[in-house]
Amino acid sequence: MKYLELQKRYLDRGLDDFCLKSIEDFQAVFGIVVNSIEGYNELSEDRKSVFEGFLINYLNRVGLSTKANFAPVSIHYVEEIRLGGKMQEDEEYYTEYSRQFYILRPNTIKIKMNRKGYTDKDVVYPFTNENKKRFLRFDFLENKSKIWLHAISPTEWY
Protein backbone atom coordinates (compact mmCIF):
# COMPACT_ATOMS: atom_id res chain seq x y z
CA MET A 1 0.00 0.00 0.00
CA LYS A 2 1.27 3.48 -0.73
CA TYR A 3 2.25 5.72 2.16
CA LEU A 4 -0.27 8.50 1.35
CA GLU A 5 -3.11 6.01 0.90
CA LEU A 6 -2.35 4.43 4.28
CA GLN A 7 -2.12 7.87 5.90
CA LYS A 8 -5.55 8.77 4.47
CA ARG A 9 -7.07 5.51 5.76
CA TYR A 10 -5.84 6.23 9.28
CA LEU A 11 -7.19 9.79 9.17
CA ASP A 12 -10.54 8.69 7.65
CA ARG A 13 -10.87 6.25 10.56
CA GLY A 14 -10.28 9.11 13.04
CA LEU A 15 -6.86 7.79 14.07
CA ASP A 16 -4.99 11.10 14.00
CA ASP A 17 -2.15 9.65 16.09
CA PHE A 18 -1.73 6.80 13.54
CA CYS A 19 -2.22 4.22 16.30
CA LEU A 20 -4.67 1.36 16.02
CA LYS A 21 -7.13 0.98 18.89
CA SER A 22 -8.74 -2.35 17.94
CA ILE A 23 -8.57 -5.25 15.54
CA GLU A 24 -11.47 -3.60 13.68
CA ASP A 25 -9.19 -0.58 13.09
CA PHE A 26 -6.53 -2.94 11.68
CA GLN A 27 -9.04 -4.54 9.33
CA ALA A 28 -10.45 -1.19 8.17
CA VAL A 29 -7.08 0.54 7.70
CA PHE A 30 -5.17 -2.35 6.13
CA GLY A 31 -8.09 -3.93 4.30
CA ILE A 32 -7.17 -7.35 5.71
CA VAL A 33 -9.65 -9.54 7.57
CA VAL A 34 -7.66 -11.04 10.43
CA ASN A 35 -9.23 -14.50 10.06
CA SER A 36 -7.92 -14.65 6.48
CA ILE A 37 -4.33 -14.80 7.79
CA GLU A 38 -3.03 -18.34 7.37
CA GLY A 39 -3.20 -20.29 10.65
CA TYR A 40 -5.40 -17.79 12.50
CA ASN A 41 -8.47 -20.06 12.48
CA GLU A 42 -6.40 -22.90 13.99
CA LEU A 43 -5.57 -20.88 17.12
CA SER A 44 -7.48 -21.23 20.38
CA GLU A 45 -9.59 -18.23 21.41
CA ASP A 46 -6.98 -17.24 24.01
CA ARG A 47 -4.18 -17.33 21.42
CA LYS A 48 -6.29 -15.36 18.94
CA SER A 49 -6.68 -12.68 21.59
CA VAL A 50 -2.91 -12.64 22.26
CA PHE A 51 -2.20 -12.39 18.53
CA GLU A 52 -4.67 -9.55 17.98
CA GLY A 53 -3.22 -7.56 20.89
CA PHE A 54 0.32 -8.24 19.69
CA LEU A 55 -0.54 -7.20 16.12
CA ILE A 56 -1.99 -3.87 17.25
CA ASN A 57 0.93 -3.18 19.61
CA TYR A 58 3.55 -4.14 17.03
CA LEU A 59 2.05 -1.91 14.33
CA ASN A 60 1.69 0.97 16.80
CA ARG A 61 5.45 0.81 17.43
CA VAL A 62 6.61 1.07 13.83
CA GLY A 63 6.45 4.09 11.56
CA LEU A 64 3.97 4.74 8.79
CA SER A 65 6.58 3.93 6.11
CA THR A 66 7.09 0.48 7.63
CA LYS A 67 3.34 -0.03 7.98
CA ALA A 68 2.87 0.86 4.30
CA ASN A 69 5.17 -2.05 3.35
CA PHE A 70 3.69 -4.57 5.80
CA ALA A 71 1.83 -7.74 4.76
CA PRO A 72 0.94 -10.59 7.14
CA VAL A 73 1.74 -14.10 5.89
CA SER A 74 0.87 -16.54 8.71
CA ILE A 75 0.41 -17.03 12.44
CA HIS A 76 0.98 -20.37 14.16
CA TYR A 77 1.30 -21.66 17.69
CA VAL A 78 4.70 -23.33 17.59
CA GLU A 79 6.88 -25.54 19.73
CA GLU A 80 10.63 -25.12 19.29
CA ILE A 81 12.81 -28.01 20.44
CA ARG A 82 16.56 -27.46 20.78
CA LEU A 83 18.79 -30.45 21.34
CA GLY A 84 22.26 -29.93 22.74
CA GLY A 85 24.98 -32.35 23.55
CA LYS A 86 28.42 -32.76 24.97
CA MET A 87 30.98 -35.51 24.57
CA GLN A 88 32.16 -35.42 28.20
CA GLU A 89 29.93 -34.90 31.20
CA ASP A 90 32.33 -32.33 32.68
CA GLU A 91 32.29 -30.09 29.57
CA GLU A 92 31.08 -26.63 30.49
CA TYR A 93 28.59 -26.06 27.65
CA TYR A 94 26.21 -28.03 25.51
CA THR A 95 26.64 -27.73 21.72
CA GLU A 96 23.35 -27.29 19.87
CA TYR A 97 23.04 -29.97 17.23
CA SER A 98 19.37 -29.87 16.33
CA ARG A 99 16.57 -27.32 16.31
CA GLN A 100 13.10 -28.35 15.27
CA PHE A 101 9.89 -26.35 14.95
CA TYR A 102 6.42 -27.89 15.11
CA ILE A 103 3.09 -26.21 14.46
CA LEU A 104 0.76 -27.22 17.29
CA ARG A 105 -2.85 -27.59 16.25
CA PRO A 106 -5.74 -27.65 18.76
CA ASN A 107 -6.51 -31.30 17.92
CA THR A 108 -3.05 -32.29 19.36
CA ILE A 109 -1.54 -32.79 15.90
CA LYS A 110 2.07 -31.63 15.53
CA ILE A 111 3.27 -30.65 12.06
CA LYS A 112 7.02 -30.29 11.51
CA MET A 113 7.96 -26.99 9.89
CA ASN A 114 10.51 -26.86 7.09
CA ARG A 115 13.53 -24.69 7.74
CA LYS A 116 15.78 -23.24 5.10
CA GLY A 117 19.47 -22.72 5.73
CA TYR A 118 19.75 -24.91 8.82
CA THR A 119 21.04 -28.46 8.84
CA ASP A 120 20.94 -30.64 11.93
CA LYS A 121 24.40 -31.90 12.85
CA ASP A 122 24.93 -35.61 12.31
CA VAL A 123 26.64 -36.24 15.67
CA VAL A 124 25.79 -38.56 18.53
CA TYR A 125 26.45 -37.04 21.94
CA PRO A 126 26.52 -39.26 25.03
CA PHE A 127 25.17 -36.40 27.18
CA THR A 128 22.19 -34.53 25.80
CA ASN A 129 19.91 -31.72 26.87
CA GLU A 130 16.48 -30.89 25.44
CA ASN A 131 15.03 -27.38 25.68
CA LYS A 132 11.42 -26.69 24.61
CA LYS A 133 9.66 -23.35 24.12
CA ARG A 134 6.17 -22.54 22.89
CA PHE A 135 5.13 -19.25 21.32
CA LEU A 136 3.12 -17.68 18.52
CA ARG A 137 5.20 -17.43 15.37
CA PHE A 138 4.12 -14.52 13.18
CA ASP A 139 5.51 -14.45 9.64
CA PHE A 140 5.09 -11.28 7.60
CA LEU A 141 6.56 -9.31 4.74
CA GLU A 142 8.19 -5.98 5.41
CA ASN A 143 9.64 -4.20 2.37
CA LYS A 144 9.38 -7.54 0.51
CA SER A 145 11.61 -9.27 3.09
CA LYS A 146 10.12 -12.19 5.00
CA ILE A 147 10.43 -11.68 8.75
CA TRP A 148 9.13 -13.66 11.68
CA LEU A 149 8.67 -12.80 15.33
CA HIS A 150 8.05 -14.81 18.48
CA ALA A 151 4.92 -13.32 20.07
CA ILE A 152 4.85 -14.18 23.77
CA SER A 153 2.10 -11.80 24.86
CA PRO A 154 0.35 -8.72 23.42
CA THR A 155 3.25 -6.59 24.66
CA GLU A 156 6.21 -8.98 24.49
CA TRP A 157 7.90 -10.24 21.33
CA TYR A 158 11.29 -10.75 19.80
What pLDDT, on the 0 to 100 scale, is given for residue 108? 77
Q: Is the pTM of this model over 0.75?
A: yes
Average confidence (pLDDT) over 32-47: 96
pLDDT in tens, 86-124: 999 999 999 999 899 999 988 778 999 877 666 777 888
Query: HEC states along the chain?
Result: CCHHHHHHHHHHCCCCCCCCCCHHHHHHHHCCCHHHCECHHHCCHHHHHHHHHHHHHHHHCCCHHHHHCEEEEEEEEEEEEEEEEECCCCCCCCEEEEEEEEEECCCCCEEECCCCCCCCCCCCCCEEEEEEEEEEEEEEEECCEEEEEEEEECCEEC
Q: What is the mean pLDDT of residues 20-43?
A: 97
pLDDT digits (tens, 9 = 90+) for 40-49: 999 999 999 9
